[in-house]
Every structure is written in C-alpha cells, then in structure tokens.
C-alpha cells in the first residue's frame, strides 16, 4: 500500500477519532507504517516473530515489559522512539491523549500473537486503510 503522494500525518490523524485503532499511512517493503490515537490501557500481548517500533508523535506512552529480569515500564515522551523486541510481552498505556506511529510487518495484529482477553475499547486489527 505504498502511496504515490506525500501524506500529512496531521491530516491523517485528524481524519479519525477511534482509540487503539491504527490507520495504515503507507508501506515500506513488507512493513506497514501505522498511526494511532491512544489513551488509557491496551492489553498484555506479544509478537512472536517481529519487533515492534514505536514513535510518540504527541502525548506520552508508557510500555510495560515482562522481561527475563522482571517487569519494568519505559516512559516515552513526545519525540521518543522505542522498539519492543520480538517475543516480549508488553502492555502500552497512555496517561493522556497520545498519538503514535508504529512500524511492523504487514498483517501484524495490533494484539499480537499471544494476548489476554481483548477489551471492547481495543480494535484487534491489522490496521485500517485510510478513507
């Protein structure tokens, strides 16, 4: 779904209001570039075969991680990037309205390969095409 024209992230983000429901902005090789509006909790999940890259466009994102050494939380203010390694259980949380950009292989579910029960406010999707 590579685009032939430039995309304004501001315009794309203004085109929807759904929380935890990523939109595919473009693709790079076999990866989707997705943006999402998030607030509150996502769910514990893991992507068994891929890392997950996050860029915080606005707001603040916290990502709890279950690692061999124990559980920890990274805090990502606006402009920060972080990659969750493949197979690592993680749970994103946004204490304030936040906008993020995520890079992951096309077809990757937003709730990973292994996850807890999906709450109603989370869209279990591979990303939505832009309108």
The number of folded domains in the chain is 1
Per-residue pLDDT band for 109 (boundaries 50, 70, 90) equals: confident
Domain CATH number, residue 86: 2.60.120.10
Dihedral sign from CA coordinates of 109, 76, 122, 115: positive
The predicted model scores a pTM of 0.89
Task: Tell me, yes or no, whether 1 lies in a domain.
Answer: no
Percent of the chain with pLDDT over 90: 73
Structural domain of residue 16, as residue ranges?
A: 9-129
List the one residue out of 46, 50, 2 whose CA is nearest residue 24. 2
Higher-confidence residue of 123 and 96: namely 96
Residue 13 lies in a domain: yes
Instruction: Evaluate whether 56 touches 98 at the Cβ level (below 8 Å).
Output: yes
Judge whether 3 lies within some domain: no
């Amino acid at each position: 779904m590579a685009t032939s024209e430039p995309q304004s992230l501001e315009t794309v983000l203004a085109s929807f209001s759904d929380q935890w429901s990523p939109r595919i902005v473009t693709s790079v090789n076999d990866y989707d570039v997705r943006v999402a509006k998030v607030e509150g909790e996502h769910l514990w999940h893991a992507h068994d075969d891929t890392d997950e890259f996050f860029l915080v466009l606005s707001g603040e994102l916290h990502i709890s991680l279950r690692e061999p050494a124990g559980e920890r939380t990274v805090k990502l203010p606006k402009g920060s990037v972080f990659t969750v390694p493949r197979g690592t259980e993680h749970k994103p949380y946004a204490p304030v309205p936040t906008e993020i950009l995520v890079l992951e292989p096309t077809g990757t579910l937003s709730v990973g390969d292994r996850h807890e029960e999906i709450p109603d406010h989370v869209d279990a999707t591979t990303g939505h095409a832009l309108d």
